[in-house]
Structure 1
């Protein structure tokens, strides 16, 4: 049984210093530092009420309304970063989920949490702000390499949920392509061509992903979003 370990929202804040010489400490703004909520929070087509987005060009919107991360990933990030007991929300997620992960969650799956009905829309492409958040310039790249990115939901039916709610799998997508499989194809397309037919059958993934994979195949897709600026 999968459950929500934590429901988190955050406000956009400014970090870093104008005088910094280390790229990790130069100015940046983000709502990646999420705060766990005790009660029910309502979500509409743009996500949870009270949650903010700094970079609306690359984050937020109906196809990235709610970001979920698997609790099972925490031990891996703790080992990589050399930390212990990382708090929920470490990856800037809205939902920290126990019992589901990138290998079991498929694009197009429909989940019901409380009165909220969600559909898995795409993996998260890790950006440089994760590296700044944890003071490690390789953090975003490492997430990209492992495929343990977490996943986004689009909102099918607005509603409320809270920490402790169980996650009902209303429907599994017919194609059955996991978030991890999509990430493997996106990370190393030429080494995972066996996944291409399955990927091409997806009709529930966010628009643009099919073009992105084609561009990865012909080496015209930039992964600048992971580089610290």
Structure 2
């Protein structure tokens, strides 16, 4: 798997239906390497530490292949890599083949897959359409949160290489499906 884009964002306050919302979901592709640290990506804004960042959600990866599906639903959006709030846009990140605990190497960095992303209203804010939240729940394209086992720099063009697999663990997609059922988002 190849890193297509590395993305970071600044804290942004926007007026959403008369309410001031602070978010870090507006991430954009950067040319310089980014540093994946233990609890987050250096210089990337995280505004709600309850749901983002931290040891088990330090880095968020999303598949470039999933963009094709969403572009059909939202053809009038100005599409940019990082639209889903991901730090790493990866050419072919398949949640149905990645198990919780699988480990990956990118240069000097070692990552462990921990969980799927669960959409929140800020994804709707980013898309300027709250329908995306329910639509996101209905697809098995949640992306993958990673724990950083070994810190370091990552850049576009680097290869994400699986170094350990835990096939007895649930896949990220299976965990997501369970969460969707719990929330009644079928």
**TM-score, normalised via structure 2 length:** 0.92
**Structure 2 Cα separation of the partners of residues 47 and 122 of structure 1:** 15
Gaps of 5+ in 1: 18-22, 189-215, 224-229
Correspondence list, 1:102-113, <5 A:
102-113=95-106
Pairwise CA RMSD of aligned residues? Answer: 1.8
TM-aligned CA deviation for residue 136 of structure 1: 1.1
CA contact (8 A) 1:78 1:85 kept: no
2:157 counterpart SS class? coil
Give 1:77's match in structure 2, choosing from 63, 67, 70. Answer: 70
Counterpart position of 2:32: 39
Q: Is the contact between residue 59 and residue 147 of structure 2 (CA under 8 Å) also seen in structure 1?
A: yes
Q: Equivalent residue for 1:101?
A: 94
- State the secondary structure of the residue aligned to 1:122: strand
Contact 1:4/1:163 (CA < 8 Å) preserved in 2? Answer: yes
Larger Rg: 1
- 8 Å Cα contact 2:36-2:42 kept in structure 1: yes
1:151 CA drift (Å): 1.1
| Contact 1:72-1:101 within 8 A present in 2 as well | no
Query: Which residue in 2 is equivalent to 1:7?
Result: 6
Q: CA offsets per residue over residues 87-139 of structure 1, 9 Å max, x none?
A: 11010100000122222222111011121100001000110100111111111
Q: TM-score, normalised by structure 1?
A: 0.75
Count of residues in correspondence between the two structures: 185
Structure with the largest fraction of helix: 1
Partner of residue 169 from structure 1, selected from 145, 158, 162: 162
Retained in 1: the 8 A contact 2:101–2:165? yes
